[in-house]
Amino acid sequence: FSIEKKEGFDSATTFIKVQSSPIFSQSPSRNPSSPNFPQRKRQNTTVIVGSLLGTIFGVFLIFSFLFLRSKNGFQEYEEDYLDNMLGMPTRFSYEELKNVTNNFSNKLGEGGFGSVFRGILPSGSEVAVKHLVGFGPVNKSFTAEVQTIGSIHHFNLVTLVGFCAEKSNRLLVYEYMANGSLDQWIFNKNQEPALGWQIRKKIILDIAKGLAYLHEECNQKILHLDIKSQNILLDENFNAKVSDFGLSKLIGRDQSRVVTTMRGTPGYMAPEWLSSVITEKVDVYSFGIVVLEILCGRQNFDSSQQEEDRHLVGLFRRKQEMGQLMDLVDKCSDDMLSNAAEVVEMMKVAAWCLQTEYVRRPSMSIVVKLFEGSVDVVGNMNEEDFLNGLTHEAMETFVSTVLPSMLSGP
């Protein structure tokens, strides 16, 4: 670089040397035309992606740690809570129940929350061990079951022999019921012999007695909230016992109604569940559905039937209007058919339990008196009540479309 200056005849030329700054010089590595540039670009991308993945993994580890600590803390709290409850049944270790069930080898059944296994206690007593699987709703179901029936006893309620709450293991130990659940006897058309009228009548009375005890004779009112044929168990003499209290709720004797989240099984749920404000009469409604199933020998919803006959309540209503209730009597049992007149009278009790307005349904203690003959159904429900309760449009719509917010367990 040069500067030339002329003044008159004198002239001078100045040369200035400029040093290139390394800041502005273009190194070969940053030159896009350089052969090393793509390699360096890939290396930078790898570093960025690696850092991002490392950050995500670190956050995941932190949340996993917090979750496990929270879960372990809840489990410890639950174990301490159960230890401090009075009148609790026997507490077993997980190893003890593995031995009792021969390493859970004899499965009796399976449901949404786990499996049930047959076992034999050291005393020689047979038991059914329910092994719950999962978190959240399962823990709530376990606690509700132990809290509800752990300290109460009634002949028509399944006895909770013991339980296990050890780390993540949650197991319930019940008395063994040799004849299984009611649904296997009334819905299985190949079942031989079919249940006769006297046995079915006794089963209905047993269920009513169990519910009356829960609603009216315990220190706290107990709402079962999942009465259905699958939750009625039968012993070797066909004595019926109410089981599965995983969705149950305890309320004070001075409480007439309670607000709670919707729970139960579609087809057995009372219309007032839509408002979430319920009473013990939701169990009365479910009981009415079970009575119809026992008398008719079919499920409340049967997809194998013609479309207009799929919903048992709607079919029952139409047959009553036509004076053809005897058409609904279970035809798989000759004994039921020969006692059809008595069966139809029992259907009227079911109709009373299925009134759309819960205040018009009877209490379970009244139902027991009806079945024992100390109260006359005719004197407590007229024909207009019978018809109005079953022709209400909301009932059929509810039975066919509502879905529960919490599925029932095994």
Whether residue 159 contacts residue 174, with contact meaning beta carbons closer than 8 Å, is answered with: yes
Selecting among 226, 244, 283, 330, the annotated active-site residue is: 226
Do 350 and 295 form a contact (C-beta atoms < 8 A)?
yes
Torsion angles phi and psi, residue 157, rounded to 5: -120, 135
Ramachandran quadrant class, 87 (left: phi over 0; alpha: psi -120 to 50; beta: rest): left
Distance, CA of 149 to CA of 161 (rounded, Å):
10
CA distance 336 to 209: 23
* DSSP annotation string for 101-144: TTTTTSEEEEETTEEEEEEE-TTS-EEEEEEE--STHHHHHHHH
**For this structure, is 235 an active site residue?**
no
CB contact set of 129 (below 8 Å; sequence gap of 6+): 97, 100, 101, 104, 116, 117, 118, 119, 171, 172, 173, 174
Would the annotation count 140 as a binding residue? no
User: How distant is the alpha carbon of residue 78 from its chain centre?
Assistant: 20
Distance between CA atoms of residues 232 and 129, nearest Å: 17
Residues annotated as binding site?
130
Q: What are the catalytic residues?
A: 226
Residues in binding site for ATP: 130
